Structure 1
């Protein structure tokens, strides 16, 4: 028997290459075939195993079973894509999964664009909660104001964000925003860019301010006096961080 010697380093490299190949290579293992009559009034779906490129015998499956299989594949794909970023969590992120990303932004100056004008104001600390579209649920973005200019805790109280296009619930009217479909290391920046790059067109919530009833007038006064928007200017929501994350 002629056994070729191999070093431990070469053996390890060969093992890694083999496993990387098996993880990155896609193989056809299952097929779904749609059968229908000429008019399309009757149809069914069959599931077939694939062996060595050949289609096996099929079994009729329900549409529910088909949708469950597709949803399962989608969840696994999203989870596998999100795994590498679990090691690199941004300091502002307070909660993250494949279906949710919540982060806070300390007090900062922002230019708000309206239909025919713009105003630059210093916003209070804000909390954002983004959920990408999943299964039958549409994407959603919520925003709230925070009292302290630091990382919130589970019991931190939330206030209405002093921003237009935000409903009383905190949810944002997304309009024509193009939001990411998955949670990745770029999601936070992409969402913020879309949100503040859009036009703030209407006040969806009349319970935002303690003493003012008009957001535009409030913005103008703050800009003219070069004053920050404080949490003391805002109405509380009655919610805490743990109730929305």
Structure 2
């Protein structure tokens, strides 16, 4: 077990005050919590009899923790889900500049191209991107499609390479994450099946760089919805 270190801005003496105990029901996974006063008796910490924690008290505890662990502020209009260290937002279909430096027929080339609607999923372990067929704000049941970009794995995970991404995850980091993705050099395909069409991703991006519309009807379904991708039942913002 790693030691816990508590840092203070000034010299403050800390004394043992209270403790929370959580009981988990094995069958239902429900949690029961109690709060106990704590005292040091003969140099040893001791818990006094506890009382059940009310929902209001739990809300106060969660609120105090959120001030240190999660984002607070106005919610970006394109955010569809957020939690501590986790953020999901969508990008409407757009025309945006991209850069390539590949060993295939695209070679070293940059230019404006049409892009499909996208969903970005960012958490502490990494970031992913998926495409959408409908140019509308996604919900829990929205079907996800493979984002047909180089440097993206089959599961949607983005290969960062030497791209610098934001240190924190919040609404303020949406633009830096998008810039890190679109302004990176697309160098190689990490997924052998990026699009349903003759010539594959190479032909797709050559056409897009020449001004073609994005063929959303040729996107490859992942077989997952947005809620399923988030693993579990989540509440998305309306």
TM-score under structure 2 normalisation? 0.65
Render the CA deviation track for 1:137-168: whole Å, top value 9, x for unaligned. xx411000011111111111111112110010
Of residues 188, 194, 197 in structure 2, which corresponds to 1:202?
188
Contact kept, 8 Å, 1:98 with 1:182, in 2: the verdict is no
Contact kept, 8 Å, 1:159 with 1:231, in 2: the verdict is no
Of residues 211, 215, 229 in structure 2, which corresponds to 1:230?
215
Distance 2:92 2:178 in 1: 13
Distance 1:79 1:148 in 2: 36
Kindly indicate which of the two structures has a greater share of residues assigned to helix.
Answer: 1
The alignment of Structure 1 onto Structure 2 pairs a total of residues equal to: 171
Matched, 1:108 2:118: no
Matched, 1:121 2:108: no
Matched, 1:147 2:139: no
Larger Rg: 1
Q: 1:156 to 1:235 in 2, by over 3 A?
A: same
Distance 1:174 1:82 in 2: 24
Distance 1:151 1:78 in 2: 27
Matched, 1:131 2:123: yes
Distance 1:169 1:79 in 2: 33
Structure 1 residue ranges without an equivalent (≥5): 1-23, 31-56, 60-75, 133-138
Shift in Å at residue 28 of structure 1?
A: 4.2
Of residues 202, 206, 227 in structure 2, which corresponds to 1:242?
227
Q: 1:83 to 1:197 in 2, by over 3 A?
A: closer
Aligned to 1:73: none
Contact kept, 8 Å, 1:97 with 1:183, in 2: the verdict is no
TM-score under structure 1 normalisation? 0.63
Distance 1:27 1:230 in 2: 63
SS of residue in 2 equivalent to 1:239: strand
Contact kept, 8 Å, 2:71 with 2:84, in 1: the verdict is no
SS of residue in 1 equivalent to 2:152: coil
Render the CA deviation track for 1:176-225: whole Å, top value 9, x for unaligned. 1222222233211111111112110001111111113432321112333x
Contact kept, 8 Å, 1:108 with 1:123, in 2: the verdict is yes
Q: 1:26 to 1:93 in 2, by over 3 A?
A: farther
Structure 2 residue ranges without an equivalent (≥5): 1-7, 15-42, 46-63, 102-107, 231-238
Distance 1:214 1:238 in 2: 20
